[in-house]
Copies of this chain bind each other. A is one copy, B any other.
Amino acid sequence: MLECALPFLPDDAVVMAVVDPGVGTTRRPIAVAREGRVFVGPDNGLLSALVSDDLRGALAPQGGALLLPRGEVEAREIAAHEFRLPDVSHTFHGRDIFAPAVAHLAAGLDYRELGPPITRIQALPPFRGANAGNECLDGRVIHVDHFGNLITTIREGQIVEPSEVEVAGHIVSTRVQTFAEAPPGTPCCYVDSSGFLAIAVNQGSAERVLGVERGEPVRVRPL
């Protein structure tokens, strides 16, 4: 979601992004600056969305520590105690560390005041389909949206056409540009508005019709 939002953020946006199952452990709070924008959150891979997918694929194909490409992306550890709450809880750094930091940034603080520079951040593996041989691609469902549409990790540009998609034992071979091209109730594939292969049911929920949850493996196979 963070990666998909990037093209639409104001040039001087200050962003707080927190998905933080490791809150209160040794993972660092960090601020990442890129092209005038600053992003604040835990150093657990979330903010690696700021490093382009191609670059992540080259620098940290399996995820893990990623050496920041110089000049393009800079990062700081949020260490200065004057920019957090006086009492920091063990379980709510969103309130006690991250929100105060972004409030100070939004009020004009230079992000470099937050703490010492760091050269590596944790990275997630790139979001793209993996080559599975025979021109097949393997990915997974990375997001189920409000409507029950299944968004996958597979990118538009990777797919050889024509193709079909297999997910949870179902073969989805109806390919559309938008929902209304499929008969109501029929599962179909489309490229979503951020360029990811997705599976929908027109006027229905692919999540419910196909019985699929986030994380489900997906395979694309040429026809």
Instruction: Check B95 against A25 for contact (C-beta < 8 Å).
Output: no
Instruction: Return the chain B residue nearest A25 by Cβ.
Output: B180
A23 in contact with B90 (CB, 8 Å): no
Partner of A177, one of B24, B92, B190: B24
Query: In the bound complex, do residue B193 and residue A91 qualify as a contact, i.e. CB atoms below 8 Å apart?
Result: yes
Report A171-201 CB contacts with B as 1/0, cut-off 8 Å. Answer: 0000001111100000000111100000000
**B21 and A177 contact, CB distance less than 8 A:** no
Known: A8-B95, A95-B8. A89 touches B193 (CB 8 A): yes
Which A197-212 residues sit within 8 Å CB-CB of chain B?
202-203
A202 to B96, alpha carbons, bound, how many Å? 21
- A22 part of interface (Cβ distance < 8 Å): yes
On chain B, the residues within 8 Å of A95 by CB distance are 8, 193
Q: Give the chain B neighbours of A192 by CB distance below 8 A.
A: 89, 91-92
User: Is B22's CB under 8 angstroms from A177's CB?
Assistant: no
Taken together as a complex, chains A and B put the C-alpha atoms of A142 and B1 apart, in Å, by: 32
- State the Cβ distance, A43 to closest chain B Cβ, in Å: 14
Q: In the bound complex, do residue B8 and residue A190 qualify as a contact, i.e. CB atoms below 8 Å apart?
A: no
- Looking at A25, A91, A96, the one whose CB has the most chain B CB atoms below 10 A away is A91
Q: Closest residue to A190 on the B side, CB-wise?
A: B91
Asked if A96 and B179 make an inter-chain contact with CB atoms under 8 angstroms apart, the answer reads no
Query: What is the minimal beta-carbon distance from A190 to any residue of chain B, in angstroms?
Result: 7
Tell me the bound Cα distance from A193 to B24 in angstroms: 11
A1 to chain B, nearest CB (A): 13
Q: Could you say which residues of chain B place their CB within 8 Å of the CB of A8?
A: 95
Are A202 and B91 within 8 A (Cβ)? no
Which 5 pairs across A and B sit closest by C-beta, in order of nearness? A24-B178, A92-B193, A89-B193, A90-B178, A90-B177
Further 8 A-B residue pairs, CB within 8 A, beyond A21-B202, A89-B192, A90-B178: A21-B203, A24-B179, A24-B180, A89-B193, A90-B193, A91-B179, A92-B192, A96-B193
